[in-house]
Structure 1
């Protein structure tokens, strides 16, 4: 298999995105867009037996694309920057999109269609459901692979993912304090990490900051852990409750390794569960 090439540049600031976009910079969304036209006749890369050229808005979409079997992946938004409106335009963005077979974006990134339009690209615009829940992530990887014509690569990835996920889940359950599933409060977009730990979610919050009423309600449930979203943190969530706050990162790094997200979360959770 060819070595994955990952390149990052800046994102076109096409329109001043709303504050709502900033609020959901760490979330995912449901999608079944572009269901039509996935056959070989509508996909030149697939018809020719070649791996597609894929442009993605962030490393999260990039990791899904890589897991699905894509090898030529260009990331527009660097992993280190969480809010797309912070970028300045670069001509290389348009040039990359113009050469792409697919442009992957999330539903909370409404600028993707404008990027393609500005570049005059014929690329297939694909909305991705960014959710690290293992079932949802696996389904999305399989869906992308069907578009890319890389089903076998995706199946191999999924087999390795299932094995590693089971290992991490087992290690975290073995680390439960007193052998009991810990009670946790999780941000609305970190529920997957509670599932990874086998933890018991007793409440959720966000994406907005916790209100005084929510603070009282969630603290009364006496959670051991608060699973915060590193990409949209509002600071200490339950001050004075005694709960340990764990920073959960949703986005992969520049290597586009989705499994690293789970390993890093497992390491943070295991540390937080120690006496």
Structure 2
């Protein structure tokens, strides 16, 4: 997705700030805890983006620090601050996604002893539940995660039912989805006849996807390449994957459902 790299040069320069700060602190020998030790207390979790942050919050984490602000749509444009590195240095866990290779360098620059945790960022409901359960086990917050899952499953079922009631002519619409928005097609019960991305659509793909005659194109708001299937009559729907600063994942589904419903009602 669009948030793929953060400039690391500033991180290495800023790491010196932390060394100076550490020299002025107490020398009790306290360090970040990992694994089972971190479960004894509420874990301090640092995440690269609000997406990982929402997964952590759903899993029961209460102390969550986000490195890249939600307002930054292109992560390489963000210059981490000394406070970001300080947060990493105090973390028990640092959450990152496979397409964010800078996470390990952030940890290294900050001298953190936190446990690096790779998160599969995909809003597919089954994958979300699996990731939240995995994180809850690490954090020792299984009870909180179970409560969240109950709320999430109920909300998801309600939205899915409403979307299916909005199918044009009572039939599941054919859609083309960007690879990171396929989850929204599943939410709507739509029939995915083709996918594209994350690379721009080639002329050959354009011809192939156009032949499918989709009613909707589910575009990724974070890495849009413009109108995907021009002159086909397909309505393009902008799907947002990243949660807001409140780290609440549920509005992502509500907003996607609202956009899909609007597009289907206009069909």
- After TM superposition, the score normalised by the length of structure 2 is 0.87
How far 1:12 sits from its partner (Å)? 5.9
**CA gap 1:253/1:117 in 2 versus in 1, 3 angstroms:** same
Return 5+ residue gaps in structure 2 as ranges: 11-32
Q: Deviations over 1:220-262 (max 9, x none)?
A: 1110000000010000000000000000001001011111100
| Length, aligned pairs only | 240
Cα distance in 1, alignment partners of residues 78 and 198 from structure 2: 23
218, 223, 228: which is aligned to 2:219?
A: 228
How far 1:85 sits from its partner (Å)? 1.1
**CA gap 1:41/1:177 in 2 versus in 1, 3 angstroms:** closer
Following superposition of structure 1 onto structure 2, how do residues 231-242 of structure 1 map, counting pairs within 5 Å?
Answer: 231-242=222-233
Following superposition of structure 1 onto structure 2, how do residues 93-104 of structure 1 map, counting pairs within 5 Å?
Answer: 93-104=84-95
CA RMSD of aligned residues (A): 1.6
1:260 aligns with 2:257: no
Cα distance in 2, alignment partners of residues 126 and 41 from structure 1: 11
Following superposition of structure 1 onto structure 2, how do residues 76-225 of structure 1 map, counting pairs within 5 Å?
Answer: 76-225=67-216
- After TM superposition, the score normalised by the length of structure 1 is 0.84
Return 5+ residue gaps in structure 1 as ranges: 1-10, 17-39
Do 1:98 and 1:119's aligned partners in 2 also have CA atoms closer than 8 Å?
yes
More helix by share: 2
How far 1:41 sits from its partner (Å)? 8.1
How far 1:177 sits from its partner (Å)? 0.4
SS state of the match for residue 92, structure 1? helix
Q: Deviations over 1:105-161 (max 9, x none)?
A: 001111111111111111111010001000001000000000000000000000110
Q: Deviations over 1:77-112 (max 9, x none)?
A: 111212221012311111100110000000111111
How far 1:42 sits from its partner (Å)? 3.5
Cα distance in 1, alignment partners of residues 146 and 189 from structure 2: 25
Cα distance in 2, alignment partners of residues 243 and 194 from structure 1: 15
1:62 aligns with 2:62: no
How far 1:193 sits from its partner (Å)? 0.3
Do 2:67 and 2:80's aligned partners in 1 also have CA atoms closer than 8 Å?
no
Do 1:184 and 1:199's aligned partners in 2 also have CA atoms closer than 8 Å?
yes
- 1:14 match: 8
**CA gap 1:42/1:236 in 2 versus in 1, 3 angstroms:** closer
Cα distance in 2, alignment partners of residues 211 and 82 from structure 1: 24
Cα distance in 2, alignment partners of residues 215 and 106 from structure 1: 29
Structure showing greater radius of gyration is 2
Do 1:62 and 1:73's aligned partners in 2 also have CA atoms closer than 8 Å?
yes
SS state of the match for residue 190, structure 1? helix
Do 1:106 and 1:128's aligned partners in 2 also have CA atoms closer than 8 Å?
yes
Cα distance in 1, alignment partners of residues 142 and 217 from structure 2: 38
